[in-house]
Amino acid sequence: MPFLTKKTGAMKVSALMPSALRVGNGVAWQEDEYRPSNELAGLGGYGLPAAAGKTSQRRMCGNFECEGGWKMPWRNRRRPIFEGQWGCSGRCVLAMVHAAVRRELGDGGTSAALSPHRHRVPLGLLMLAQGWITHPQLQKALAAQRENGTGKIGEWLLSECGVEAEQITRGLSMQWGCPVLTTEGFSPESMALVMPKVFVEKFGLLPLRVAGSRILYLGFVDNLDASSALAMEQMTELKVESGVVDGAQFGAARSKLLACEGVETKLETAEDKDSMAARITAILEQKQPVAARLVRLHQDYWLRMWLESGTVGRAGSLPVSHEDVKDHVFTIRVQ
State which residues of the chain have pLDDT below 50.
1-42, 45-56, 70-72, 74, 107-117
CA distance 101 to 271: 14
Cβ(17)–Cβ(39) under 8 Å? no
Show the CA angle centred on residue 111, arms to residues 114 and 264, nearest 5°: 135
Residue among 81, 34, 46 nearest 290 (CA): 81
Phi, psi of 134 (to 5 degrees): -100, 165
CA distance 145 to 155: 9
Single-letter residue type at 282: A
User: What's the pLDDT score for residue 11?
Assistant: 40
CA distance 272 to 277: 9
DSSP for residue 155: H
Around Cβ 17, how many Cβ atoms within 10 Å?
17
Q: Is the peptide bond before 80 cis (omega within 30 degrees of 0)?
A: yes
User: What's the pLDDT score for residue 58?
Assistant: 55
Does this model's pTM top 0.75? no
Contacts of 147 (CB under 8 A, 6+ apart): none
User: What's the pLDDT score for residue 45?
Assistant: 47
Phi, psi of 10 (to 5 degrees): -110, 155
User: What's the pLDDT score for residue 151?
Assistant: 85
Cβ(245)–Cβ(208) under 8 Å? yes
